[in-house]
Amino acid sequence: MTSIPRPARAARAQAPNRPRLLQALIDAFQQPDIRRKLLYTMGLLVVFRFVAHVPIPGVNAALLKDAFENSALLGFLDLFSGGALRQLSVAAMGVYPYITASIIMQLLTPVVPSLQALSREGEQGRNRIQLYTHYLAVPMAFVQGYSQLIILEPTGAIGNVTLTGPDALPTLSAVISMTAGTMFLVWLGELITENGIGNGISLIIFGGIVAGLPTLGPSIIDQGVGFFSIGMLAVIAVGVLALIVFVQEAQRRIPVQYARSVFRSGRMYRQSGQSHVPLRVNSAGMIPMIFAFSVVIFPATAANYLRNQTDVSWVVSISNFVVDWFGPRGTSGNIVSPVYMATIFLLVMVFTFFYTLVIFQQQNLAENLQKNGGFIPGIRPGRPTAEYIMRVLVRITWAGAIFLGAVSIVPYLLPYVVAGFRNVNSLTITSTGLIIIVGVVLDTMRQLESQLMMRNYEGFIR
């Protein structure tokens, strides 16, 4: 006979002075099934961190470290590998190729008729699209792995990178190892999603970002930053985190009414129910920032490669101009140019609207409401409902786009605000990383909250 869980009121009565968060954690570990899911999730994250420290052969660790200190592109890619790219391990690409494949499939779904038809077939269609995403992730991992080796080759951290000649076998083995490491991490993430707590892919990225936190403090102190500057950084970080949480949770709720027919005692009755459609202010998450940084960093990286490979004066001059004005650090290596920050800000806003509208078109909210007998009070069903939701979505997306654009340039504004950070080369946790951390933590807390509420316990969120 199964025992009934102890209600939250009894738990609080026995421990009235215990903090609510601590009490919720204790309640979670008291339930065998939730405890098993939490330990399962933690165990697979530990496996991920072990894999992240398995390097590919033939890597010069000292030159690799110097390369990451002087390349913003490598630092950006290292964010999604969970620090594994910094060590050039078999998991150097993390789950980034899978994320790229997922984004491509999301953008292709409303364009390709066959994919659009699959998306409307319910769970079976979504599983088929997920399978295609896995198939696409493999060649993308191969191409991205080879590209990363090409980027690292001029630094001397790795030997000759080629797919022909006597050096083809070491290059091919390294790329295959990195591709296998990526798909292994994707498999771990799906295991966490199925048997653990939270979204597995997001948790793997989260685990890699958090793993770099212990080195953040010593790296800043070693570069001569004063205590006042560190205090200012802490204040700014807390303010940015509070703003991220506020905007990530902000939503516009559109009221919806449902009319249902109920057959009772031989007669048909009409019943009405009320609900709402939540439209998030930031529906795109951190995807626009990934797009924007990828687009902006590429020209400066290509220009930097060209000026190091040629002696032609006009090519070097153009390359220096591109690096100075569109590079994340310029030739001085300290303060970025206003042109770079303005470009990032505008691109983030553009991609926010683009990605939000693409996702909105895939959801078919107006059509689904009409099929389920729902309607917005004062708005006719069908096309008028779709136009109304679109107007509301565009208005609130302005706030989300401006927020993402402002948060994306916060790390680059630090040297202008705090003088002590003029000589700091880079910060480990970027604004993109902060948004990922906040999003993953909130999503995991919601899932754990639902597990506790089903067992008559109070959770984390009021």
Classify residue 377: in a domain, yes or no.
yes
Number of domains the chain contains: 2
Choose the weakest-confidence range: 70-74, 185-189, 443-447. Answer: 70-74
DSSP alpha helices (H): ranges in 52-159?
61-69, 72-81, 96-108, 113-119, 123-152
How confident is the model over 15-32, as a mean pLDDT? 67
Output the pLDDT for position 259.
67
Classify residue 419: in a domain, yes or no.
yes
Together in a domain, 205 and 252 = no
Output the pLDDT for position 380.
82
Cα(134)–Cα(143) distance, rounded to whole angstroms?
15
Classify residue 161: in a domain, yes or no.
yes
How confident is the model over 366-370, as a mean pLDDT? 76
How does DSSP assign 25-55, residue by residue? HHHHHHSHHHHHHHHHHHHHHHHHHHHTT-B
Together in a domain, 60 and 163 = yes
Classify residue 438: in a domain, yes or no.
no
Together in a domain, 263 and 388 = yes
**Tens of pLDDT along 24-38?**
677 777 788 888 888
Classify residue 2: in a domain, yes or no.
no
Residue-averaged pLDDT of the chain:
76
Together in a domain, 37 and 175 = yes
Together in a domain, 186 and 281 = no
How confident is the model over 221-245, as a mean pLDDT? 75
Of residues 79 and 391, more confidence is placed in 391
Output the pLDDT for position 433.
74
Quick check: 357 and 396 in contact, CB under 8 A? no
Is 118 a residue whose pLDDT tops 70? yes
Classify residue 206: in a domain, yes or no.
yes
Together in a domain, 254 and 381 = yes
Together in a domain, 298 and 407 = yes
Cα(91)–Cα(99) distance, rounded to whole angstroms?
14
Residue 101 burial (CB count, 10 A): 22
- The model's confidence at residue 419, banded by pLDDT at 50, 70 and 90, is low
Together in a domain, 297 and 181 = no
- The model's confidence at residue 80, banded by pLDDT at 50, 70 and 90, is low
Output the pLDDT for position 43.
92
Is 7 a residue whose pLDDT tops 70? no
Residue 207 makes CB contacts below 8 A (sequence gap 6+) with 45, 48, 49, 82
How confident is the model over 331-354, as a mean pLDDT? 77
Q: Which of 210-219, 235-244, 418-427 is predicted most confidently?
A: 235-244
Domain extent, residue 336, equals: 245-423
Together in a domain, 197 and 252 = no
How is residue 224 written in tokens? 């001569």
**Helix, strand, coil shares, percent, the chain, to 5:** 70, 5, 25
- The model's confidence at residue 104, banded by pLDDT at 50, 70 and 90, is confident
| End residue of a domain, out of 212, 234, 269 | 212
- The model's confidence at residue 12, banded by pLDDT at 50, 70 and 90, is very low
Interstrand relation of 374-375 and 267-280 (parallel, antiparallel or unpaired): unpaired
Nearest to 10 by CA among 23, 19, 28: 23
Of residues 66 and 35, more confidence is placed in 35
Is 9 a residue whose pLDDT tops 50? no
Cα(386)–Cα(366) distance, rounded to whole angstroms?
5
For residue 338, give Cα distances in angstroms to 341, 402, 413: 5, 17, 10
Residue 185 makes CB contacts below 8 A (sequence gap 6+) with 48, 51, 91, 94, 95, 204
Q: What percent of the chain has pLDDT over 90?
A: 6
- The model's confidence at residue 18, banded by pLDDT at 50, 70 and 90, is low
Q: Which residues pair with 261 in a beta bridge?
A: 270
- The model's confidence at residue 135, banded by pLDDT at 50, 70 and 90, is very high
Cα(83)–Cα(397) distance, rounded to whole angstroms?
32
Output the pLDDT for position 458.
56
Q: Which of 70-79, 145-154, 206-215, 414-423 is predicted most confidently?
A: 145-154
How confident is the model over 86-109, as a mean pLDDT? 83
CATH number at residue 197: 1.10.3370.10
How confident is the model over 224-251, as a mean pLDDT? 78
Q: What percent of the chain has pLDDT over 70?
A: 76
**Tens of pLDDT along 275-292?**
777 888 888 877 788 778
Classify residue 220: in a domain, yes or no.
no
Together in a domain, 256 and 189 = no
- The model's confidence at residue 336, banded by pLDDT at 50, 70 and 90, is low
Is 21 a residue whose pLDDT tops 80? no
Output the pLDDT for position 187.
93
How confident is the model over 413-436, as a mean pLDDT? 61
Output the pLDDT for position 179.
92
Is 175 a residue whose pLDDT tops 80? yes
Choose the weakest-confidence range: 140-149, 255-264, 375-384, 394-403. Answer: 255-264
How is residue 189 written in tokens? 């993430």
Quick check: 399 and 205 in contact, CB under 8 A? no
Choose the weakest-confidence range: 237-241, 303-307, 335-339, 454-458. Answer: 454-458
Whether the full predicted model's pTM is greater than 0.85, yes or no, is no
Together in a domain, 256 and 156 = no
Is 8 a residue whose pLDDT tops 60? no
Classify residue 8: in a domain, yes or no.
no
Output the pLDDT for position 146.
85
Residue 288 makes CB contacts below 8 A (sequence gap 6+) with 347, 348, 349, 350, 351, 352, 354, 355, 401, 404
Is 349 a residue whose pLDDT tops 80? yes
Output the pLDDT for position 245.
85
Of residues 8 and 52, more confidence is placed in 52
Together in a domain, 141 and 27 = yes
How is residue 410 written in tokens? 């916060």
Output the pLDDT for position 111.
80
Output the pLDDT for position 53.
84
